Amino acid sequence: MTYRGVVLDVDGTVVRGDDPIPGAADGLDRLTTAGLRRLFVSNNPTKRPPAYADRLGRAGFDVSPEEIVTAGTITTTYLADNHDDDDLFVVGEPALVDQLTDAGLTVVDAEDRADAVVVSIDRSFDYDRLSSALRACRDGVTIVGTDPDMVIPAAEGDVPGSGAIINAVAGVVGRDPDVVLGKPSDPALRTIRDRLGVPPADCLVVGDRLDTDIALGERSGMTTVLVRTGVTDDRDLARGDVTPDYVLDSLADVGTVL
C-alpha cells in the first residue's frame, strides 16, 4: 500500500524530554523520502506549536509549527466553539491558561463563578487545589479534561500526566468529565483530518501508547504502528484492548511498513 500521510506522536516516539530518541532521525528521513505529509500530534496541553517546534529543533529535528497539533490547541478550539461565553476555572499550568486567555476565553479564580472546569496536568497540584476544584465542580458545571495521558515519558523517567490530575478531581467530585480531549477524542480526529488533508485510509499513525495513539488510528481507519521507545511494553501489548497493525523497536524501523 502507498501511504500519503503520517500522524506522529512526539514524547516517547521522537524525543524523550529534550533528547532525540535513537533512530528517530532516520525514521523521519525515511518518511520524508517516501513523500508522506507529516503531522506531529502531542497530548501535551502546555506547549504551543511554536514552542514545540523549538523543542524539536533543539533535539535536531526540522519541524515547522504548522506541522504540530497539541492538546492545548484542541482544548482551546473546543472551548472557543462550545464555551466561548463561559467563565472557566482551570486546574492546569500557566501556559495553558495563557493559551485560553489569548483566544479570548475568560478564566476565573473564583470557584463559585465557574460555568466550566478545565482539568489538565499541573506540576504544582496539591490538596488545596484539589479542594478548590471540588468546590468549583458543583451541579451543572461542565468538566473538561485536556487529555487522558496517565503518565508521560520524561528525561528522568515516566511522570504523572493530565490523566492523573483528571482522575483525582473526578474521584472527589464523584463523576467523570463531560469530555476528555486530546488523542483519541473526536475533536482531535477532526482537527487531524482538517490539518493533514489526507484520507485516514491513506495514513499511518505512529506512537508509543495504545490508549491514545493506536486507539486514535483504530477509530479513524489509519494503519497503526506502535514503537517500543515509550511507555508500552510487552505486558501492556498482551493485555491491551487495542492491537496495533505493526510493532517496531523504534521509529528507525518504519521503512519496513512503507
Catalytic residue numbers read: 9, 11
What Rg value do the Cα atoms of the chain yield, rounded? 18
Rounded to 5 degrees, φ, ψ at 216 are -60, -45
Measured distance CA(79)–CA(92) in Å, rounded? 15
The secondary structure of the chain as a DSSP string is: ----EEEE--BTTTEETTEEPTTHHHHHHHHHHTTPEEEEEE--SSS-HHHHHHHHHHTT----GGGEEEHHHHHHHHHHHH-TTSEEEEES-HHHHHHHHHTT-EE-S-GGG-SEEEE---TT--HHHHHHHHHHS-TT-EEEES---SEEEETTEEEE-HHHHHHHHHHHHTS--SEE-STTSHHHHHHHHHHH-S-GGGEEEEES-IIIIIHHHHHHT-EEEEETTSS--HHHHHH-SS--SEEESSGGGGGGT-
